[in-house]
Amino acid sequence: MRFTIKDGILIPRNTLEDSLPIAKIPTIPQPQLNPNFAYNRELQQLLTGKQLLLDDIPFTLDEIQTHYQNGYVTYRQPIVYKGKQPICARCGNKEPQWFATFPCSRCEETCLYCRHCLMMGRISACTPLLGWNGPVPDTIYPTKILEWQGTLSEGQTVASNQVVEAIHGNQEHLIWAVCGAGKTEVLFAGIETALTAKKRICIATPRTDVVLELTPRLKAAFPNITVASLYGGSEDRHLFAPLTIATTHQLLRFYQAFDIIILDEVDAFPYTVEESLQHAANQARKTTSAMIYLTATPNQKWQSECRSGKRAYTTIPARFHRHPLPVPEFVWCGNWQKLLQKNKLPQNVIDWIQKRIRANKQALLFFPHIPLMEKALTILRRIAPNIEAVHAEDPDRKNKVQKMRAKEIPLLLTTTILERGVTFPNIDVAVIGAEDTIFTESALVQIAGRAGRSKDYPDGVVTFFHYGKTDQMIKARRQIVSMNREGVRRGLLDL
Ligand SMILES: [Zn+2]
Ligand SMILES: [Zn+2]
């Protein structure tokens, strides 16, 4: 579509003369809010705090335009220019190789679009980003907001108080909680505080699995609050709610929406991806707002910011069950890849596995790459035919994890796909080829964090088999040891 400016307002035009794609209009005027205009309540619900394309919503351009002319809808440029350099206003992409052009029937020009956020619908130079400028929808808040009856550990209590304080003061705060510390409960008091103050809050996490797992827990804790659960293809996408749980990708549809954003597992992606998620989170939060980060494994940059006092943070160094984290042991296993090519596994790896199978102790075995894992599977099935292997693209992944939980599998081989999020009560954990670059400090801490999670089985053996120790392995072990030490120092562990 094309626009022209007439009497200080933007008007859609069908003709090529005197009109431009919106990205080429230098400044977009915003008409004054007309208090007598009868705005559409459904559109209000759907656009408040959002940045959507016309294709995202079931309204005609006519209706949108009328709301714009009465000051209720905003048009924003989809692509802005810094000199000649295009920047996607939705996802923040500024890499030239992530832009492309196509012959566009809407503006009848060769139209520039962003490939980086294409999965959220194509944003091109002629498609305005729609937002809401009118009153916010009314929300009814119950008198009793939090119905959760559980108790917090000492470590959780300290963190929970910090979250409340950060929300009150609109600050940023990092909660660095070891795997199994119970980080969700730490948020409850903060969420209650926010909702009591009629603030809007969003918990964002990289993985859909986590959104699906958190939704019922939050609905149970806050039964009288509307909770929107957002992921690709979810039914709540047009639901306006005081409490939103979303994948980080879904944040790209929000604009200055939230008073508090809680960003979970900030470390789960490489830095470049993290950067665009940070952009999404920054766009989705209001100018005055709080930001809470949750992680078990902050990256090096964040760790040093914590140590140097540049970043406000609180650690929960101990698990809920007050037992220390299992510390990984390093075991040299020679050139295991070369052996696998000859259809063999290192003897100490075989011994480790046989010991577990004899003792009936389940184990997770991590591999850096799928083909090598498949080779190992063939070999290990000679020891126990019901051993299984999973990886990200495995269509049977959920079923195999389920079988592992039901103790139908003695040993599950896996890529880093199971490094986080899964809990088996009583397992040992080994990494084969811990020297591989895929096993970063954060991945190794997460992997080690799979062991000893249940209060009935708080111990577990964690072994990193390697062909040469790496810096990342040493840092991972150091992080675990230092958390245990802090747990002892703060009296959070029973020894
Ligand atoms: Zn984009
Ligand atoms: Zn176009």
Dump pLDDT digits (tens) for 141-190. 888 999 999 999 999 999 999 999 999 999 999 999 999 999 999 999 99
* CA–CA dist 487, 360 (Å, integer): 31
* CA–CA dist 352, 42 (Å, integer): 61
Q: How many residues does the chain have?
A: 495
Which of left, alpha, beta for 227 (phi over 0: left; psi -120 to 50: alpha)? beta
Answer for the pair 350, 430: CB distance below 8 angstroms, yes or no: no
The CATH number of residue 438's host domain is: 3.40.50.300
* pLDDT value of position 18: 86
Average pLDDT over the chain reads 94
Q: Where among 256, 286, 316 does a domain terminate?
A: 316
Regarding whether 359 and 307 lie in a shared domain, the answer is: no
Q: How far is the CA of 90 from the centre of ligand 1 (A)?
A: 5
Q: How far is the CA of 421 from the centre of ligand 1 (A)?
A: 29
Q: How far is the CA of 247 from the centre of ligand 1 (A)?
A: 17
Regarding whether 344 and 307 lie in a shared domain, the answer is: no
Answer for the pair 340, 370: CB distance below 8 angstroms, yes or no: no
In a domain, 324, yes or no: no
Ligand nearest to the CA of 78: 1
Averaged pLDDT, 403-415: 95
* pLDDT value of position 307: 93
Residue 185: CB atoms within 10 Å: 19
Answer for the pair 442, 179: CB distance below 8 angstroms, yes or no: no
In a domain, 321, yes or no: no
Q: How far is the CA of 25 from the centre of ligand 2 (A)?
A: 13
At residue 106, the 3 state secondary structure works out as coil
419-462 per-position pLDDT tens digit: 887 889 899 999 999 999 999 999 999 999 999 999 999 999 99
Ligand nearest to the CA of 95: 1
Six token digits for residue 130: 């729609």
Q: How far is the CA of 402 from the centre of ligand 2 (A)?
A: 48
The string of DSSP letters for 199-233 reads: --EEEEES-HHHHHHHHHHHHHHSTTS-EEEESTT
In a domain, 141, yes or no: no
Ligand nearest to the CA of 108: 2
Regarding whether 296 and 235 lie in a shared domain, the answer is: yes
Ligand nearest to the CA of 79: 1
* CA–CA dist 285, 86 (Å, integer): 23
Q: How far is the CA of 257 from the centre of ligand 1 (A)?
A: 19
Bridge-based pairing state of the strands 243-247 and 201-205: parallel
* CA–CA dist 131, 44 (Å, integer): 9
Q: How far is the CA of 401 from the centre of ligand 2 (A)?
A: 46
Regarding whether 340 and 243 lie in a shared domain, the answer is: no
Q: How far is the CA of 55 from the centre of ligand 2 (A)?
A: 13
Q: How far is the CA of 52 from the centre of ligand 1 (A)?
A: 12
Instruction: Give the number of domains in the chain.
Output: 3
Regarding whether 337 and 219 lie in a shared domain, the answer is: no
* pLDDT value of position 440: 93
Regarding whether 344 and 210 lie in a shared domain, the answer is: no
Q: How far is the CA of 283 from the centre of ligand 2 (A)?
A: 24
∠260-265-266 over CA atoms, to 5°?
75
Q: How far is the CA of 22 from the centre of ligand 2 (A)?
A: 9
Regarding whether 296 and 168 lie in a shared domain, the answer is: yes
Answer for the pair 431, 447: CB distance below 8 angstroms, yes or no: yes
In a domain, 473, yes or no: yes
32-87 per-position pLDDT tens digit: 999 999 999 999 999 999 999 999 999 999 999 999 999 999 999 999 999 999 99
In a domain, 301, yes or no: yes
Q: Where among 281, 316, 351 does a domain terminate?
A: 316
Answer for the pair 176, 293: CB distance below 8 angstroms, yes or no: no
249-294 per-position pLDDT tens digit: 899 999 999 999 999 987 766 555 667 788 899 999 999 999 999 9
Ligand nearest to the CA of 102: 2
**In terms of Cα–Cα distance, which of 217, 266, 224 is closest to 242?**
224
At residue 377, the 3 state secondary structure works out as helix
* CA–CA dist 261, 217 (Å, integer): 18
Regarding whether 177 and 300 lie in a shared domain, the answer is: yes
184-238 per-position pLDDT tens digit: 999 999 999 999 999 999 999 988 888 998 999 999 999 999 999 999 889 999 9
Regarding whether 302 and 161 lie in a shared domain, the answer is: yes
In a domain, 145, yes or no: no
Q: How far is the CA of 126 from the centre of ligand 2 (A)?
A: 4
* CA–CA dist 370, 377 (Å, integer): 10
Output 324 or 15, whichever has higher pLDDT: 324
Regarding whether 170 and 104 lie in a shared domain, the answer is: no
At residue 136, the 3 state secondary structure works out as coil
Q: How far is the CA of 82 from the centre of ligand 2 (A)?
A: 20
In a domain, 107, yes or no: yes
88-135 per-position pLDDT tens digit: 999 999 999 999 999 999 899 999 999 999 999 999 999 999 999 999
Q: Where among 316, 340, 360 does a domain terminate?
A: 316
Answer for the pair 148, 221: CB distance below 8 angstroms, yes or no: yes
Q: How far is the CA of 295 from the centre of ligand 2 (A)?
A: 41
462-484 per-position pLDDT tens digit: 999 999 999 999 999 999 999 99
- Residues near ion ligand 2 (CB < 5 Å) are 104, 106-107, 111, 124, 126
Q: How far is the CA of 377 from the centre of ligand 1 (A)?
A: 41
In a domain, 138, yes or no: no
Q: How far is the CA of 79 from the centre of ligand 1 (A)?
A: 8
Ligand nearest to the CA of 2: 2
Q: How far is the CA of 120 from the centre of ligand 1 (A)?
A: 9
Q: How far is the CA of 238 from the centre of ligand 1 (A)?
A: 21
Q: How far is the CA of 65 from the centre of ligand 2 (A)?
A: 18
- Residues near ion ligand 1 (CB < 5 Å) are 88, 90-91, 93, 114, 116-117
Which domain range does residue 194 map to?
154-316
370 sits in which H/E element: helix 370-380
Ligand nearest to the CA of 123: 1
Specify burial of residue 437 (Cβ count, 10 A radius: 0-12, 13-18, 19+).
Answer: exposed
At residue 376, the 3 state secondary structure works out as helix
Regarding whether 248 and 215 lie in a shared domain, the answer is: yes
* CA–CA dist 113, 122 (Å, integer): 7
* CA–CA dist 420, 387 (Å, integer): 21
**In terms of Cα–Cα distance, which of 207, 199, 285, 191 is closest to 248?**
207
* CA–CA dist 21, 399 (Å, integer): 50
End-to-end CA distance of the chain: 69
Regarding whether 466 and 384 lie in a shared domain, the answer is: yes
